[in-house]
Structure formats: structure tokens, C-alpha cells
Amino acid sequence: MKAAVLITSSPIAHDTTVSLRQRPARGVSDSGRGSGKLSESRPRRQVATSLVVMAAAAAAAATCVLGCPSPASAQTPVSISATDGYFDVSRIDADTWAISEPKYWQKNNSFIIKGQVRTILFDAGSGTRDIKHMSDNVTRKPTTVIPSHVHYDHIGSIGSFDEIAMVDLPINREHTVDNRYTPSLAMSLSPLASSFMVTEWWKPGEKIDIGGRVLEAVSIPGHSPDSIALVDRARGYAFVGDFLYAGELYTFLPGADLAAYLESTKRLLGDYPEIRTVLCGHMGTTMPREALVALQQTLTSILEQRAAPERVWWLGGLVKRYPGQSFSILTW
Ligand SMILES: [Zn+2]
């Protein structure tokens, strides 16, 4: 694709140059995404099935032959500041940016979180295109990438970064030797996921000062055992990856756990009353705190067997679908 033209008036150019095509602000309608998890107690057959399903999904992704995500009921208007034709960059606030992949079947969002000293990139994109040039366009400060979890679509370009942080969880240490993290197939869902060097370990709950801005790393198992959130109490933000977005929340993949999902939701709501905005790994970039409350209600009703699911086909397998408020939960 032809390179985009230099735009110097872009609002993302305040601490760097920008070689992106500026686009007028517009509303972006986003939507549901399917995926899932498997409880660890499920038979291996189901784990194997889900891996086959994920492989089929990956193979089909480029052309959406198995179906592209359907529009979500809740749509988040996003002001697009710039694009290179694949990635869209949108401003959340003066120091926070979403780098989105609207053409990718799962419509990923990664986030630039800028401090006065350094920048954090939360998730490394699907890898369809290298996200590094986009993050470099937003900031020239030293950038450390930290994945929300290591599913293949969140570590796609992680190898392009020199500084990589992970939260010091047992599940992460299990896959690390001499600070080299090697994702297993069950963790990454892709045989193509590469290993990478971890340059920084953050303790769960640790406050990370990036210069006038403090982030807290929170373990939030549920979608996957290694899922984390970054909470910025001062701004009321919780960056949550696949934990919550306006689409289908996959709770049938290996290591997923509905009970842990509920406990993590309660932890976010109870320990972080400052959270006002949830920043999502897929579909629309943000959801309000109320969506977390709705997630807690839906998970509770499922676990208490008060919710009535519908059976739906998901890439060749029958799963249960529990509708929530602007999201749904897919599980076995
Ligand atoms: Zn995931």
C-alpha cells in the first residue's frame, strides 16, 4: 500500500513527528467478537477442540469466511485522529491513545499510556502489521510494552520492542527461563507465537510510576489465567484487554474460568472505586464502569444457574451464549 503523507497538524504530533494521513473525526461503530475459554476441569478433548477451532479462526480471519464479527448493540463513538490505512489512532486524552485495527477480524485495540518519563504500550497488536511504527509516531519517549495476556492476537508485534514487561504471576514464570518467555500453544492459541525476552517484572498490585502518572498492575484471571489490567486511579481508567468489551466474551478457551472471572470483576469494582472508564481490547475502545457492574451481574446469574443460555454454533462447535448488557458471554 502506498505510504501515507506527512501531516504536521495532527493532534498526536505534540511530542514527535507524525507521518500519517489525518482523518476527520467520525463515529465508529464497533461490535461483537467471539472467542472463548475452557474451564481447566474440562476434558482434554474440549481443549483440543477449541485449539482446532482457534486455528480455523486464524486461518479464516483474513477473509472472514467463517463470519465476521457482527455489530454490537453498544457502540462507542471514537474520534479518529490519524490512520496509515490499516491502523487508526484515536485520542482518549492528551496522554492516552488507542491504536486500533478496524480491518482485523477481531478489531483489536492497543493503548499508548504516556507518562512524563516513559510510555507504556498495553498490548502489541494482532501482528497483521507491525504496530511499532504507530506507537513511535505517537511518542518518542522510551516505550515498554506489556501484554494484557499472551493470546496470539495481543502479542503479534511484541518482538519489535526492546523493553517488555510482564506481571510476576506463577503462570508467567512457568513459561519463562532466564527471562525468556516462551508461550505454550494453550497459552497463545497459535503455534506461530514467538518467545520474547522479559526485561521487567511487575509485582501484582505494584504501583508503576511512569512520570506524573501511576499505573497499578492487577491480576484478573477469567478470560485467561494470565489476564491483567492496568488501573490508572487518577484518571479513572482500567485497561482490561479481553476481559470486557462490547462483543462476545470468550470463556471457553484453555485456562478460562467463570468463577475466577467473577472474582476478578468483583476485585476491580471493589478495590478500585475510582474506575470510571474501561478501555477494551476489541471493538469499541471504551465502556463505562456500569458495564463492569453488568458483567458481574451476568457472571453471577450464570454461576447461580439462573441465566438461560441459547445454544449457538461457534466455528463448528456448539457453545452456550448468555446475553449481557452490550456484551454476551460464550462458554461451554
Ligand atoms: Zn484473548
State which amino acid sits at residue 111.
F
Burial letters for 30-46: b for 16+ Cβ neighbours within 10 Å, e otherwise?
A: bbbbbbbbbbeebeeee
How far apart CA 240 and CA 122 sit, in angstroms, is 9
Q: Between residues 282 and 139, which one has the greater pLDDT?
A: 282
**CA 278 to centroid of ligand 1, rounded, Å:** 16
Query: Percentage of the chain with pLDDT > 70?
Result: 76
How far apart CA 38 and CA 224 sit, in angstroms, is 9
Q: Between residues 68 and 310, which one has the greater pLDDT?
A: 310
**CA 102 to centroid of ligand 1, rounded, Å:** 17
| Model confidence at 43: pLDDT above 50 | no
Look at residue 73 and give its three-state secondary structure: coil
How far apart CA 112 and CA 141 sit, in angstroms, is 11
For residue 132, name the pLDDT band (cuts at 50, 70, 90). very high
| Model confidence at 323: pLDDT above 50 | yes
Which residue, 114, 102, 95, is CA-closest to 76?
102
For residue 81, name the pLDDT band (cuts at 50, 70, 90). confident
Residue 33: predicted pLDDT: 53
For 202-226, how does the pLDDT look when each residue is reduced to its tens digit (9 = 90+)? 999 999 999 999 999 999 999 999 9
The mean pLDDT of 40-58, rounded to a whole number, is 43
Residue 82: predicted pLDDT: 86
Q: What is the mean pLDDT of the chain?
A: 82
**CA 4 to centroid of ligand 1, rounded, Å:** 31
Domains of the chain by range and CATH?
31-331 (3.60.15.10)
What's the whole-model pTM score? 0.81
Query: What's the farthest any 2 CA atoms get from each other in the chain?
Result: 56
Look at residue 66 and give its three-state secondary structure: coil
Q: Between residues 325 and 231, which one has the greater pLDDT?
A: 231
**CA 219 to centroid of ligand 1, rounded, Å:** 14
| Model confidence at 90: pLDDT above 50 | yes
